Amino acid sequence: MNAGKPAIEIVMLPPLARHDAQGRHYTSAALLRQTVADCAMGARTTSRRSSMKERYAQCSCGDLSVICRGEPALVSLCHCRECQRRTGSTYGIAAFFPRPQLEISGEATAYRRQSDSGFDVALHFCPRCGSTVFWEAARKPGMIAVAVGAFADPEFPAPDKQVYTQHRHPWGAAPSEPSS
């Protein structure tokens, strides 16, 4: 019975314009295709891989870190209650990368739970400082979600979509539309 369960509301934001290192212009959909192409090329040639953009995410104390190569396939802002409790903030933001694009360093402890949609999620946090740095969602096999806050980088791509907006705090700390 799904009757008693709140429906998942997924709000697709308009595609965001992005530029790569050569100044080419991408929409989110084009970026996703490009990321897949980059990933396939990176597996074959080391020179292509070395030219991919690298970003660095880490926990509060720095013991647990992730190097992320290339652009995220999807950036999703989640207003669900679990993300609120996990972050201690009013929403969480996940940047999904294909697993081969990530290099994880340091010790992580996993906390497993079910998402509101019923799929398993394994959250990996630093056992020293407690920051959750990345997680695996059974709903997205082959992908790792990295906490966007762990990059502490204001240049990080903005969310492509927002989910669980029924739990959004109404005073609007998260943008309801992408900024221009």
Interacting residue ranges for Zn ion, rule: CB under 5 A: 59, 61, 63, 78, 80, 83, 126, 128-129
Could you tell me how far CA 2 lies from the centroid of its own chain? 28
CB of 160 to Zn ion, least distance (A): 15
Angstrom distances, CA of residue 165 to CA of 11, 12, 110, 161: 8, 11, 27, 10
Nearest to 119 by CA among 134, 138, 135, 142: 138
Q: Which residues pair with 127 in a beta bridge?
A: none
Alpha carbon distance 156, 17 (integer Å): 13
Is the CB of 8 or the CB of 17 nearer to Zn ion?
A: 8
Is the CB of 39 or the CB of 59 nearer to Zn ion?
A: 59
Is the CB of 59 or the CB of 148 nearer to Zn ion?
A: 59
Is the CB of 39 or the CB of 145 nearer to Zn ion?
A: 145
CB of 147 to Zn ion, least distance (A): 11
Which token pair is 45? 């040639």
CB of 73 to Zn ion, least distance (A): 18
CB of 127 to Zn ion, least distance (A): 8
